[in-house]
Amino acid sequence: MAGSGRKLVHFGPRQVLPCPQLPYNQDVNRGIRLVILLFGPPGCGKGTQGQLILDWLPARIPAISTGEMLRAEIAAGSPLGVQTKSIIEAGVLVSDDLVNQVLRARISRPDCENGFLLDGYPRTVEQAEYLDHVLAERGMPPPVVLHLDVAADVLVGRMMSRRHCSKCNRMYNVLTMKPKTEGICDDDGAPLITRGDDREDVIRDRLQTYADVTRPVLSHYPHDRYFQIPGERSTHYVFEEITEILERFLAEEAAIEHPASASTAMSLPPATSAPGATAGSHTTSVPPAASVLSATSVTDQL
């Protein structure tokens, strides 16, 4: 990820500020549509940022993950759900085609009218192309891709400092969330343990797989809608950078909905390119990793 040759977006020196004010009245449903794709390796803080984004946006949009989508479809007992269930029970990989169909059904629901935030999809270039197609078909704007990038060494450090209570499973971190007494759970006094999958080699393997699978998908998106965000800083700094990016796209949407009122709202230049328009300009430094896609297992999807 780091050193992939991808252009890093700089916003210059920043101050610690409260969340920026949106340039329009939040009480009015203005038909803002925003599709956000959140990418980032395990441990990058994606879940936290995703929730902050949802709380900050002027319109309510749902967060959708592939696993939740598949589970919901199974729970609903729909024909797609029945098919998904039988495939998973057979231990077979959930195909792009099936995941795509489930996604299409999910984003056709009314709660996705203003857009949605996707986490864990698309996972392959085929899925990315399918998403472009469905969005265009539904008159939705192309996605804004937010990639929280954190160096492997930092992630390894973060994850290796995790400890779990051997009794209640409460999570601690010896660097950032220490127990009151070293090695002992605050709640029940049981000893804290390190999980097997928090071993360095296991973590590095997982991060490498993530990078290999994600790289070609990220390359699919044009550079004016793709944002690599250094995720090593505090939650607040990362979120501030995200809101600056999203404000620009919200202003664009506002300009489409209300051309007169939005003309003075934002001074940032609009990003008007169609998806794929500039895709060729930033794909050369990214080697294909198609062979890794077969490693995407059912458990990854769930």
Distances (CA, A) of 274 to 16, 54, 244, 246: 34, 25, 21, 17
Helix axes 96-107, 79-89, angle to 10 degrees: 150
Give whichever of 165 and 203 is closer to Zn ion, judged by the CB atom.
165
Closest distance to Zn ion from the beta carbon of 180 (Å): 12
**Whole-angstrom distance, CA of residue 33 vs CA of residue 38:** 16
Indicate which residues carry an active-site annotation: 46, 123, 162, 195, 206
How far the first Cα of the chain sits from its last, in Å, is 24
Per-residue contact track with Zn ion, 92 to 121, x per CB under 5 A? ------------------------------
- Taking the CB of residue 33, how many other CB atoms lie within 10 A of it? 22
Token digits for 22? 């949106």
Contact set for Zn ion, span 155-214 (CB under 5 A): 165, 167-168, 170, 185, 187-188, 190
Token digits for 56? 């900050």
- Taking alpha carbons only, the member of 140, 141, 94, 139 closest to residue 121 is 94
Closest distance to Zn ion from the beta carbon of 260 (Å): 59
Mode of pairing for the β-strands spanning 192-193 and 162-165: antiparallel
Per-residue contact track with Zn ion, 281 to 300, x per CB under 5 A? --------------------
CB-CB contact of 87 with 96 (8 Å): no
Give whichever of 39 and 172 is closer to Zn ion, judged by the CB atom.
172
Per-residue contact track with Zn ion, 116 to 135, x per CB under 5 A? --------------------
Give whichever of 97 and 187 is closer to Zn ion, judged by the CB atom.
187
- 51-69: b or e for each residue (b if 16 or more CB lie within 10 Å)? ebbeeebbbebbbbbbeeb
Give whichever of 113 and 186 is closer to Zn ion, judged by the CB atom.
186
Strand partners, 35: 116
Closest distance to Zn ion from the beta carbon of 200 (Å): 25
Closest distance to Zn ion from the beta carbon of 195 (Å): 14
Give whichever of 85 and 164 is closer to Zn ion, judged by the CB atom.
164
Q: How many residues in the shown chain lie near Zn ion by CB under 5 A?
A: 8
Residues found near Zn ion in the complex (CB under 5 A): 165, 167-168, 170, 185, 187-188, 190
